[in-house]
Structure formats: C-alpha cells, structure tokens
Amino acid sequence: MSRAAVLTGLGAWAPPTVVTNEELASCLDTDDEWIRTRTGIRQRRVIAPGEATSDLAVEAGRRALKSAGTTTADALVLATSTPDRLCPATAPQVASRLNLGTVPAFDVAAVCSGFVYALAVGAGLIATATADSVLVIGADTFSTVLSPSDRATRAVFGDGAGAVVLRAGSPEQDGALLDLGLGSDGSRSDLIEIPGGGSRQRSTGLPTDLEGTYLTMRGQAVFAQAVHRMSESVRETGARTGWPLETVDRFVLHQANARILTATAKRLGQPVERFVTNIDQLGNTVAASIPLALADGVASGELLPGHRVVLCGFGGGLTWGSVALVWPQLNTP
Ligand code: COA
C-alpha cells in the first residue's frame, strides 16, 4: 500500500487587535462602503508592536499539535513571506519554542500560495519516509510591510497564522492529501513585490530606501490572474482526483478578495455557497488564509467530516497550487 500524508490536526490564531474599515477611513482617503463592496472585507487583525510572525506561528502550531493529540513532530515547514528576519529562517525558532527538539525546520516562501506549497513539501517528506509526521504552518504579518499611505494594500491585508499536522497513513483514509498540483509564472513577478531589502535592491542606508521596503501590488492585474490561475488549478486537481466539480462539497480558496472568490466560482460553474469564506473578518492573511478559512469552516459547521474538499492558493511569484482531500474527523484544538 502506498504511503500518504494524512491531515490529523488543525489550529489557527489571529492576533486580537482588530482594525475596522472605519478605523482605516479615519486616517486614509477611503471609506467602509468602498472597501466592503470592492473586497468584501469589514475588518482585519494586526499584530501588536513588538510581535512578529514567529509569535503567531507558535500559537497556531501549538493548537494544531493539540488537535492532533500530540506534542511532537518529525519536521516543521513554515510558509511565510514575512519572516522575523531575512536571515536565518524563522522555522527553527518556532520549532524550538514548540519544544520539537532538533527536528528539521525551514521556511517556504510562496506568498499567498505558501500554505499549499508547504503542504506539498510536508507530503514529500512523508512520501520519502524522511518524516512520519510534519507540522505545516502558514503565518504572515503583512501589516509590517504595508506603506502607511497605501489605501489599496492596507484595505486588503491582515495578519494571522494557521497550521496542520500531517501524519503518514494510507490514501484511503479521510484526510489523505490525494492530489497536489503546483505552478508558477515568474514573468509576472512584478505584480506583487517588495522591491528592496534583497540582493537586487540593497539598502544604501538612506531614508529614501524606506519606500522600497513596502509591498506594491497591481491590483487589477492580480485580480485577473487570481481568477484565471485558481479556476484552472482547481479544474486540474478535480480532474486528476477523478472528482467532477459538482461532487466537491467545499472549495477553500485563498481569501484574497470576495469578488475574486465569486468570479472564480462563476468561472468554474459552481455555486458560491460551496466556497468557504471568512474574508469579511480577517482580510487577506497571505500564507495563513487557507488554514484560517479551514478552522472557521469547521467552527461554523460549514466543513464536515466526509466532505470532498479542494484547497487552492494563488499569490505573488506568481504562484498557485491546489490539493484535494476528504475532510477528516478532527479534535477541536
Ligand atoms: N479606498 C478608496 N479608493 C481606493 C482604495 C481604497 N481602499 N484602494 C484603491 N482605491 C482607488 C484607486 O486609487 C483608484 O483610484 P484612481 O482611479 O483615482 O486611480 C480606484 O480606486 C480604482 O483602483 P483599482 O485598483 O482599479 O480598484 P479595484 O476595483 O481593482 O480594487 C483592489 C482594488 C486592490 C481592491 C483590487 O484590485 C483587488 O482586490 N485586487 C486583488 C488584490 C489581491 O487579491 N492581492 C493579493 C493576491 S494574492
């Protein structure tokens, strides 16, 4: 029997500080109605001064381990594009703080597709018997890379973390990751970027460098690509899994914008009611968005054991990816 990666635990964490649309409107040229109608977002969470991505990752990771009924994992994969520092990776600190010992731990950077990419890496570690269990975390704090004066990005992004535990099992088990399809298009890397701080645009130490450390986004082009890539990716994963899309109970897509979800549902010819969403409460939490949507879907009863589920991420890079699984019975963390 072949060896599969099986989802056995789920945890999520969003920082308690809420920023409402009204609060954004008090300091930016925007208003609640514009943000709600263009994005579906009512509020987002942000970290407190002094907090960092690892703090959120630890909270989500702890909850996922508890949900899986364990305190250990053989490896930790952290999807993030806002690491605590550019070097070293953030994952080893998270592993230490979770008392996982000296297990392999590393970051995966695929922006809003990061969680699906990290699932694929975790599944690969299990398939090759490098690990019997992997803690996969998606955590980002994009509030730390947004220009205070950019009304478009500040309306969209929020902070958060979500995690799952993968364990070696059989493809017949509920929770087994059945199909993982990933893709990228680096020719469109300019659509979402932080130009400065890396080896291409190094800091000169001048105050003018600050602008280069902020996220830039070409919103309309990103919108069109998100709908195109996510609908193709979901279609391909459905076909490879042998699931006609009509038989998929829930689609859990990256929470980028409510209109992107509606347009993708329409492109796929599937009712938007089967697309789990929590974007009104959390905004776009980047690598955390899919596991946070899973946790909210479970909490609201939208996502039930036995459901056929397709997850799909899309983000900067450009990158995208999907995974199919039958939703397992999990303990609430
Ligand atoms: N409040 C008011 N006006 C805003 C605004 C805000 N929060 N954000 C942008 N605008 C303005 C723009 O400045 C522009 O003004 P102008 O015409 O005077 O230049 C106008 O609204 C239209 O901008 P546009 O970018 O065409 O708006 P849009 O309808 O595409 O909405 C986004 C902007 C960012 C909400 C939308 O493009 C989007 O969600 N894109 C995808 C973003 C995303 O998902 N990113 C992550 C992908 S992983």
Q: How confident is the model at residue 197 (pLDDT cuts 50, 70, 90)?
A: confident
- Look at residue 257 in the predicted model and tell me its pLDDT: 95
- CA of 137 from ligand 1 middle (Å) equals 29
pLDDT at 212: 82
pLDDT of residue 213: 87
Task: For residue 300, give the nearest of 231, 244, 265, 252 by alpha carbon.
Answer: 252
Give the list of residues 6+ apart from residue 149 with CB closer than 8 angstroms, or none.
28
The whole-chain average pLDDT of the chain stands at 96
| The predicted structure's pLDDT at residue 200 | 84
> Does domain 4-169 fall into CATH 3.40.350.10?
no
- Ligand 1 geometric centre to CA of 287 (Å): 21
Query: Please, where in the chain does CATH 3.40.47.10 lie?
Result: 4-169, 179-326
pLDDT at 333: 60
Mutation choice for ligand 1 from 156, 233, 261, 282, CB with most ligand atoms inside 8 A = 156
Cα–Cα distance between 219 and 204 in angstroms, integer? Answer: 29
Give residue 209 CA to ligand 1 midpoint distance, Å.
25
| Residue-wise pLDDT tens digits, 102-128 | 999 999 999 999 999 999 999 999 999
Q: Extract long-range pairs of 217-222: CB within 8 Å, 24+ residues apart.
A: 217/152, 217/153, 217/156, 217/191, 217/192, 218/190, 218/191, 218/192, 219/152, 221/188, 221/191, 222/191, 222/192, 222/256
Cβ neighbours of 89 (radius 10 Å): 18
Q: Closest Cα to atom 32, ligand 1: which residue?
A: 219
pLDDT at 84: 97
Per-residue confidence band for 29, with pLDDT thresholds at 50, 70 and 90: very high
Mean pLDDT of 55-80: 98
Cβ–ligand 1 distance for 318 under 6 Å, the answer no
**Residue 99 annotated to the active site:** no
| Spatial contact of 138 and 161, defined as CB atoms under 8 Å apart | yes
**Taking residues 211-234, what's their average pLDDT?**
94
What is the model's pLDDT at position 207? 65
Whole-number percent of the chain with pLDDT over 90:
93
Q: Which of 21, 112, 278, 312 is catalytic?
A: 112
Are 323 and 116 a contacting pair, CB within 8 Å?
yes
Residues 6+ apart with CB under 8 A from 311: 116, 119, 252, 253, 290, 294, 322, 323, 324, 325
Pocket test for ligand 1, best of 257, 279, 280, 314 (most atoms within 8 A of CB): 257
- Note the CATH architecture for domain 179-326: 3-Layer(aba) Sandwich (3.40)
The tens digit of pLDDT for each residue in 133-142 reads 999 999 999 9
Does 151 contact ligand 1 (Cβ within 6 A)?
Answer: yes
* Active-site residue, selected from the candidate residues 254, 257, 278, 312: 254
pLDDT of residue 223: 96
21-25, 44-48, 196-200, 311-315: segment of lowest average pLDDT:
196-200
Out of 27, 154, 220, 284, mutate this one to test ligand 1's pocket (max ligand atoms within 8 Å of CB): namely 220
Q: Give me the count of residues in the chain.
A: 333
| Mean pLDDT, residues 168-187 | 97
* Mean pLDDT across 162-180: 97
Cross-sheet strand order for the sheet of 159-169: 4-13, 159-169, 133-141, 75-79, 105-108
| Ligand 1 atom closest to Cα of residue 254 | 48
As a whole number, mean pLDDT of residues 242-254 equals 98
The question of whether 307 is a catalytic residue gets the answer no
- Residue 1: pLDDT over 60: no
- pLDDT of 208 reads 64
* Mean of pLDDT values over 82-93: 97
- Give the pLDDT mean for 11-32: 97
Nearest CA to ligand 1 atom 42: 219
Task: Examine the pLDDT at 72 and tell me if it is beyond 90.
Answer: yes
284 in catalytic set: yes
- Is the C-beta atom of 191 inside 6 A of ligand 1? no
